[in-house]
Every structure is written in C-alpha cells, then in structure tokens.
C-alpha cells in the first residue's frame, strides 16, 4: 500500500494521540480531523498539520484522499461513527471499548462484516513491555500450565470526576475493565465462559456520578483457568500515577508478580514536590512520541501498510464487550452469568 491518508474523529485526549502518530509516521499523512467542538478540531488540526477540520464526520468520511480513520469518541458514542466509517469504506482504528451495549455490538458487527474494511481495536496493553514479556513466558511454557491470574487495574478519582465529562455514561468496567479482560484473554489464549461479580456504589454516587465505584469479579476461562479482577474508579488522587496496577500470574511450575503502580522505577524529588514522571506509557524521547500507548497506533499504520493481520481485531473487541456486559449483569443480580458471544 502507498502512503495512507488518515483522519481522526473525536479530537479529545486520546484522539490527539492518534493525530500525533498519524502525523509523524513515515507511511501516513494526517489529512483532516473532526470533533463536535470546533475549537478542539481546529486546534488539533493546527498542532499536527492537518489541512482541514470538520464538526461533522460525514464530511471527513466523504474525502477520497482519506483511506483510514481513528475513532476516539467517548465510550458510549462509538457506534454511529464506526458504522459510517464502514459504509464509507475506511479502515478503522477504534478506541476501546468496542461498544457498550448488545444492540450497538450487533449493529457494528453487521456493518463491519458487510464492509470489507480492516478494523483494529486499541487495546494497547498488548504493547506494554512487562505485560508482553509475561505473555511470552506463558507462551514459552516457563510457568507450566496456567492455573490462575489476579489483576487489579484502578484509576484515581480525578479521572471520573474531573478528566472525563462523560464518566456517568461509562463505568470503570468499560474504561479500564475492558483492558483487564483483553489482557487476561491474551495471557490465557482462550475465552471467558462464566463470570461472577459484585459491585459497590458509595463515593461516586454521592458526587452525582451514578456508576459503581468498584467491581470485584471472578472469571472462569474455557480451559479452566480462573482469574480474579478488581476495577475501581476511586483511588485517592495522591496515588503516584493515574493507575493502580498489580498482577499475579500463577502456573503449575512458576509465577510472575507485577507492581506497575506509579512508575516506581523513576522517583523525582524537587524542592516543592516529588513525583514519578511517565517513562512507559507515552513519553517523548529525542522529540519522538514513544511508549506503548503510541506504539499500538504506530503498529496499526505499519500493518495497514504491509498488509499483515492486526494484533487486536474486531472479534477481540466484540468478545471483551460481551464479557463486560456479563459482569455488569452478574453484579446487578448477584448471580454467576454464562457469557454469550
Ligand atoms: N487506548 C486507551 O487506553 C485509551 C486511553 C484513554 C481513552 N481511551 C478511549 O478513547 C475514547 C475517547 O476518550 P478521551 O479520553 O479522548 O475522551 P474526550 O472526552 O477527551 O474526547 C472525546 C471527544 O469526542 C468528541 N465527540 C463526541 N462525539 C463526537 C462525534 N459524533 N463526532 C465527532 N466528535 C465527537 C468530543 O467532543 C470530545 O472532544 C474513549 O472511548 C476512551 O475510553 C482509550
């Protein structure tokens, strides 16, 4: 494939990351961006050299010099832009989660299957070096048969209360739980068949954000592996990093432990503060956007260009959303739920 013309739909925090990589990769050119808010679209177009910006994605999708789009609208608003991009024949990098309802999933699957476009879902944890190395150890058999996994992936309170204007229309399960589930599917190499979850609503409820603070869930995989996952949106803002991350992977012969909370490998002490600057997710090194969150977007361009299969496709996103919906169902009814794909 020749150099590819790209567009971005939704130029908030993450759409800007798409624009940055589309604008800097040797095989891509950022042609246009779109956001409902004109100022955001104009600013991102100016910052990353796109010649046009729009507030209606149909105008962007109508351009013949755009072959692929990044879609980074809020969690609950992926369906319409995705279906429109499929109909316009554009390849798609869709932000996670793929969709947040059974109805959206069905409509998106239909549009995807009818379109022939290529779709990657941006579960960028698969490019996170410690998680990738854990996966490699599991695949090579150094831990023996996988027995169980524990994964705690939480956000500080700032995220649902100040960063995301649409937190009440999503949940920690969509925002981070979807990453948790995708990573555990990646490790296990098979699908979740049954879930059992409990949730609790205290802190966010009192702030008028009507979604649970926390879900604690048990997942059973087809091959018998069991996983315990915890996802909460109420970690104190004084946590050294936005996320609070701990993992344990237990095999019959070995075990891996990870504490990825807060870039603890790099501590900075200044006269007025101490902190842990980002060294892993999206640092800029010698002027180049690096880190696993940028690497997944770069990989989308590479694979679109060289024709190789995407590492995380439509089906992965679809299955993860089905597991999240089953967990929510289980937490509501305090009953185990079989996942129906
Ligand atoms: N890969 C990751 O780990 C990762 C990290 C952060 C966010 N995300 C995902 O990226 C998506 C966006 O998150 P964000 O933090 O950038 O949110 P955001 O609120 O900062 O940005 C969303 C933007 O979409 C725009 N928008 C909404 N509807 C639109 C429409 N119909 N047409 C054009 N623009 C529209 C909004 O105006 C807003 O500017 C979410 O799905 C989120 O879960 C993924």
Please tell me what DSSP assigns to residue 160: I
Q: Each residue of 85-139: pLDDT tens digit?
A: 999 999 999 999 999 999 999 999 999 999 999 999 999 999 999 999 999 999 9
DSSP H helices, the chain, are: 13-24, 38-48, 57-61, 79-87, 102-115, 129-140, 158, 172, 178-188, 203-206, 292-306, 314-333
Quote the ligand 1 centre to 166 CA distance (angstroms).
9
Q: Which residues pair with 7 in a beta bridge?
A: 32, 69
pTM for the whole structure: 0.97
Dihedral of alpha carbons 264, 231, 177, 202, sign: negative
**How does residue 154 score in pLDDT terms, banded at 50, 70 and 90?**
very high
Q: Could you give the domains of the chain?
A: 4-117 (3.40.50.720), 125-286+317-338 (3.30.360.10)
Indicate the burial class of 64 (C-beta count within 10 angstroms; 0-12, 13-18, 19 or more). Answer: exposed
The mean pLDDT value of the chain amounts to: 97
Quote the ligand 1 centre to 7 CA distance (angstroms).
14
Contact by Cβ (8 Å): 292, 128: yes
Residue 322: closest CA among 71, 95, 47, 101? 101
Q: Whose CA is nearest to atom 37 of ligand 1?
A: 36
pLDDT > 70: percent of the chain:
99
Q: Which ligand 1 atom is nearest residue 80's CA?
A: 31
How high is the pLDDT of residue 2? 73
Q: Whose CA is nearest to atom 30 of ligand 1?
A: 36
Q: Side-chain half-sphere of 266: how many Cα atoms within 13 Å?
A: 8
Q: Which ligand 1 atom is nearest residue 122's CA?
A: 1
**How does residue 74 score in pLDDT terms, banded at 50, 70 and 90?**
very high
Structure tokens at 307: 């024709």
How high is the pLDDT of residue 301? 98
Contact by Cβ (8 Å): 55, 29: no
Q: Whose CA is nearest to atom 5 of ligand 1?
A: 14
Q: Each residue of 32-41: pLDDT tens digit?
A: 999 999 999 9
How high is the pLDDT of residue 241? 85
Quote the ligand 1 centre to 146 CA distance (angstroms).
36
DSSP H helices, 162-242, are: 172, 178-188, 203-206
Asked whether the predicted pLDDT for residue 262 surpasses 80, the reply is no
DSSP H helix total and E strand total for the chain: 12, 17
Quote the ligand 1 centre to 51 CA distance (angstroms).
21
Q: Which ligand 1 atom is nearest residue 41's CA?
A: 39
Asked whether the predicted pLDDT for residue 1 surpasses 80, the reply is no
Please tell me what DSSP assigns to residue 17: H
Whether 175 is in the pocket of ligand 1, judged by its Cβ within 6 Å, is yes
Whether 94 is in the pocket of ligand 1, judged by its Cβ within 6 Å, is no
Q: How far is CA 162 from CA 11, 88, 165, 313, in A?
A: 18, 35, 7, 31
Q: Which ligand 1 atom is nearest residue 78's CA?
A: 41
Alpha carbon distance 8, 26 (integer Å): 17
Whether 74 is in the pocket of ligand 1, judged by its Cβ within 6 Å, is yes
Assign residue 51 a region: left if phi > 0, alpha if psi is -120 to 50, beta otherwise? Answer: alpha
Whether 41 is in the pocket of ligand 1, judged by its Cβ within 6 Å, is no
Q: Each residue of 160-204: pLDDT tens digit?
A: 999 999 999 999 999 999 999 999 999 999 999 999 999 999 999
């Amino acid at each position: 494939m020749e150099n590819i013309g790209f567009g971005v739909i939704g130029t908030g925090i993450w759409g800007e990351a798409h624009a940055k990589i589309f604008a800097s990769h040797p095989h891509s050119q950022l042609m246009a961006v779109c956001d409902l808010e004109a100022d955001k679209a104009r600013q991102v177009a100016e910052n990353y050299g796109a010649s046009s910006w729009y507030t209606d994605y149909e105008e962007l999708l109508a351009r013949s010099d755009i072959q692929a789009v990044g879609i980074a609208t809020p969690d609950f608003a992926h369906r319409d832009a995705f279906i429109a991009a499929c109909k316009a024949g554009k390849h798609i990098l869709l932000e996670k989660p793929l969709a947040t309802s059974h109805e959206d999933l069905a409509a998106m699957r239909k549009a995807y299957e009818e379109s022939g476009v290529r779709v990657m879902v941006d579960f960028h944890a698969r490019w996170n070096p410690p998680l990738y190395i854990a996966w490699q150890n599991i695949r090579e058999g150094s831990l023996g048969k996988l027995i169980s996994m524990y994964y705690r992936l939480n956000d500080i309170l700032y995220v649902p209360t100040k960063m995301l204007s649409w937190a009440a229309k999503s949940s920690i399960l969509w925002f981070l739980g979807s990453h948790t589930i995708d990573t555990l599917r990646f490790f296990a190499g098979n699908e979740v068949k049954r879930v059992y979850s409990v949730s609790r609503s205290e802190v966010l409820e009192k702030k008028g954000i009507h979604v649970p603070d926390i879900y604690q869930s048990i997942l059973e995989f087809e091959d018998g592996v069991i996983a315990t996952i915890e996802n909460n949106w109420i970690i104190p803002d004084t946590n050294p990093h936005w996320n609070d991350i701990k993992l344990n992977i237990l095999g019959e012969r070995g075990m891996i432990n990870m504490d990825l909370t807060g870039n603890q490998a790099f501590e900075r002490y200044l006269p007025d503060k101490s902190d842990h600057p980002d060294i892993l997710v999206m640092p800029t090194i010698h002027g180049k956007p690096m880190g696993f969150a940028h690497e997944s977007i770069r990989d989308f361009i590479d694979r679109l260009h060289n024709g190789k299969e995407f590492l995380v496709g439509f089906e992965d996103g679809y299955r993860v959303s089905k597991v999240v919906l089953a967990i929510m169902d289980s937490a509501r009814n305090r009953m185990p739920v079989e996942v129906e794909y």
